[in-house]
Amino acid sequence: MNVLVVGAGGREHALAYAFAKSASVDRVYAAPGNDGMVNYAECVNIAETDQESLVAFAKEKAVELTVIGPEAPLLQGLADRFEQEGLRVFGPGEKAAMIEGSKSYAKEIMERYHIPTGAYASFSAYEEAEAYVRRQGAPIVIKADGLAAGKGVTVAMTEAEALQALEEVLKDHKFGKAGAEVVIEEFLEGEELSLMAFVHGEMVVPMVAAQDHKRAYNNDEGPNTGGMGAYSPVPQFTQKDIDEAVEKVLQPAASGLVQEGAPFTGVLYAGLMMTSAGPKVIEFNARFGDPEAQVVLPRLESDLAELLTALLDGEKPEPVWSEEAVLGVVAASKGYPGSYEKNLPIARVPESPLLFFAGVEKKDDVYVNSGGRVLLLSEKAATLGEAKKQVYEKMKELDTNNLFYRTDIGFRALQ
């Protein structure tokens, strides 16, 4: 069959890689794709927001399965549109995707279906939010309600920090419409886990777990980013811990959305804090995590296209996962997640089947940076320690004049 991947980042590059490996797949198309995935996919220059052209393209190329990578087109109703056109698509409709699109909606769902999460309140008026912060005290977490590319969250260790974050969101409108409301959340202590599942209505097929490193600098310091590296498996947690999270979080979320009349089809991602009182949800995403996809998909041994079509047909697939470990490190533009200069040359990039491009373009045969997170290199090995060693060895081949990366990805598993 022919498949189409919508999106242009590292996650979509990993999807193209997984489809290229799938025996049932004839052609992999990516819209718009990126310059790194040309070995895996034929890229077509259609924006992920251009519904009209995407539908026309899928029809013209007899695409039998489309996977939508990023959240923005999902929240614009791209999956709904494909369905209306009778095109098979793996990704939630606009209504179900709101579990990611609005943090206060996600909180309502969690409350209604008894999904464990931190206590919270949401506000749109600064004065009320300020009074709440003063009552609760620090540490406390301030989140812009809408989409902010992973940057709308401040974990405030002091009241002053919390108030400054409130000001930025509600007074300075740093996140525009996404920050019309803030969710103020209880600070949760524990270790984080990213747990994703293939979901179709009530059916929940968990993937292997991963851990992301959200902070910009080593030792989990510095500002939050979209993610600076990830690895899978996460040996700090047992299969029992993971099963508990599926049972308490992913399954009730999927069933809850069915009851809400917004059944979810696609990847449901739970960002969890594994607290002493069990797993608690930090966030839901309506898609593969980035960079989690780049370390989880390389462990998938099943044919991804077959797996997804079985699921869409209502048959519960049983994916086979490699016992090997995968660890991936992101290289980002110097200055990210703050402002950074674009179009700076990257003279050398490492070579690997698991090198995934994000904010990088080829201009006149030279690579230049075009985004914050530029690329991610994963390696797969018998152990996490070995995978880490191999990745960092290969990262030496990267020209880092204009880039930086963390040198401690996986430290919580390997210390």
Q: What residue ranges bind ligand GLY (CB under 6 A)?
A: 150, 212, 227, 285, 289-292
Residue 100 partner contact from ligand AMP, ligand GLY, none using kind-dependent CB cut-offs of 5 to 8 Å: none
Specify the stretch interacting with ligand AMP by CB under 6 A; choose among 73-81, 90-98, 183-191, 246-254: 183-191
The one among 28, 141, 184, 272 contacting ligand AMP by CB under 6 A: 141
Residue 151 partner contact from ligand AMP, ligand GLY, none using kind-dependent CB cut-offs of 5 to 8 Å: none
Q: How far is the CB of 267 from ligand AMP (least distance, A)?
A: 16
Cβ proximity to ligand GLY, 150 vs 206, nearer residue: 150
187 binds ligand AMP (CB under 6 A): yes
150 binds ligand AMP (CB under 6 A): yes
287 binds ligand AMP (CB under 6 A): no
Cβ proximity to ligand GLY, 227 vs 359, nearer residue: 227
Q: How far is the CB of 289 from ligand GLY (least distance, A)?
A: 4
Cβ proximity to ligand GLY, 168 vs 212, nearer residue: 212
153 binds ligand AMP (CB under 6 A): yes
| Closest to 106 in 3D by CA, of 9, 96, 137 | 96
Q: How far is the CB of 295 from ligand GLY (least distance, A)?
A: 11
- How open is the CA angle 176-150-143, to the nearest 5 degrees? 60
Cβ proximity to ligand AMP, 221 vs 323, nearer residue: 221
Residue 292 partner contact from ligand GLY, ligand AMP, none using kind-dependent CB cut-offs of 5 to 8 Å: ligand GLY
118 binds ligand AMP (CB under 6 A): yes
State the Cα–Cα distance between residues 205 and 221, nearest whole angstrom.
34
Residue 187 partner contact from ligand GLY, ligand AMP, none using kind-dependent CB cut-offs of 5 to 8 Å: ligand AMP
| Closest to 194 in 3D by CA, of 220, 148, 157, 231 | 231
Cβ proximity to ligand GLY, 81 vs 280, nearer residue: 280
Q: Which residues of 305-317 are buried (b: 16+ CB within 10 A; e: fewer)?
A: bbbbbbbbeeeeb
224 binds ligand AMP (CB under 6 A): yes
| Closest to 42 in 3D by CA, of 22, 24, 65, 19 | 19
Cβ proximity to ligand GLY, 163 vs 274, nearer residue: 274
State the Cα–Cα distance between residues 227 and 356, nearest whole angstrom.
14
Of residues 63-102, those binding ligand AMP (CB under 6 A): none
| Closest to 113 in 3D by CA, of 239, 368, 284, 286 | 284
Residue 36 partner contact from ligand AMP, ligand GLY, none using kind-dependent CB cut-offs of 5 to 8 Å: none
Contact assessment for residue 197 and residue 311, using Cβ atoms and an 8 Å cutoff: no
242 binds ligand AMP (CB under 6 A): no
Contacts of 371 (CB under 8 A, 6+ apart): 333, 342, 358, 359, 360
| Closest to 98 in 3D by CA, of 86, 108, 88 | 108
Residues forming a β-bridge with 271: 194, 283
181 binds ligand AMP (CB under 6 A): no
Q: How far is the CB of 134 from ligand GLY (least distance, A)?
A: 30
Residue 53 partner contact from ligand AMP, ligand GLY, none using kind-dependent CB cut-offs of 5 to 8 Å: none
Binding site for ligand AMP (CB under 6 A): 118, 141, 143, 150, 153, 155, 185-188, 192, 214, 224, 271, 282-283
